[in-house]
Homo-oligomer: A and B are copies of this chain.
Amino acid sequence: MQKNINTDTKDLFVGIDLGGTFVKIGCFSEKMEMLSKISIPTDNDRPKATMNSVVNALGSLLSQAGLRMEDIKAAGIGCPGVLDTKKGMIITSPNLPVYKGFSISRYVSEKINAPCILENDANVAGWGEYVLGAAEDVDDMVLLTLGTGIGGAVITDGKLIHGAGNSASELGHIIIYPEGRECGCTQRGCAETYASASATAKRANEMLAEGAASSLQDIFIERGDVSCKEVYEHASQGDRFAYEITELTAKVIGLLCVNIFSYSNPDKIVFSGGMIAAGQALLDRISFYFNKFIRKDIDVKIEFCFANLREDSGIIGSAALARDTFCLV
């Protein structure tokens, strides 16, 4: 698939979004116009074979578009999991266990003869929103990804924070209720164990199993569980039980945003991930709880909004990060 081909473009930037099922590859101009993109399957057992396929696919993509490998100035790779970004290496990635210890950015860099950076998927998406998306007008922002878990990216004074062990910005594991629900990380009361899309569905399913009165019971009885999407749909249709489930989600995210304000004081908090399909109502209730719980003794300025790069955020963000890391003065 190709769009906006501009063969005048000299400097090319590559974004690679390495997922457990597919690798998305995008090629961009210096201004981050998408020149072409493609998706190939991930070989979960053979990291080098996967990256060889990525490089081959990239070669075909470029030649079809009349572009040249030699014009690639830098590449970025986004990947879920714990990474050693300095070494460009995956430490642990839940869906890619065999990739552990693979110096992925060096491998790709040697193949394409250009510098390559590896970065956590949430940081990549955050960088994309920061330079080209919903937060392009501010210097300090936080991205919260509301999906299976809650991920985060923190950009302060124009820099992504990483922390000593590359474990910064784990905002889903900020504890909201000490001694509360047990989280997959082993802590208790983490934001993500209440307010991720999965946790929202899980809380609903637990109470539906106990016989909670709700229009969701029909689905629950038939299929054995309900999805986060269905909970939000029934809430918007006036189901009281579903509404209360979504209220706790918004309350926990609102409290998390209060703590984000006190910690890094961003201009904007940008939400992404599957749960943003719930739309404006979600944003309104998060704002409501933020305003309820935030301090009133100082002037608090903050904006909440949705991400706007959506499904291409992984490739756009990683290409932009590569450009801004290696090619900006």
Contacts and interface: CB of A to CB of B under 8 A. Distances in A.
B258 A187 contact: yes
A232 interface: no
A87 interface: no
A328 interface: no
A contact patch SS: loop
Interface stretch (A9-17, A37-45, A154-162, A316-324): A154-162
Interface in A78-94: 82, 92
A138 to B, nearest CB: 7
A255 B186 contact: no
Contacts of A186: 295-297
Interface residues of A, number: 52
A255 B184 contact: no
- Assembly of this chain: how many copies? 2
A163 B154 contact: no
Given A165-B299, A167-B298, A263 B174 contact: yes
A138 B302 CA distance: 32
B169 A162 contact: no
B293 A174 contact: no
A2 B16 CA distance: 60
Nearest to A297: B185
A188 interface: yes
Interface in A173-192: 173-178, 183-188
Given A186-B296, A263-B263, 8 more contacts: A140-B164, A162-B265, A165-B301, A171-B263, A173-B295, A174-B259, A175-B259, A176-B178
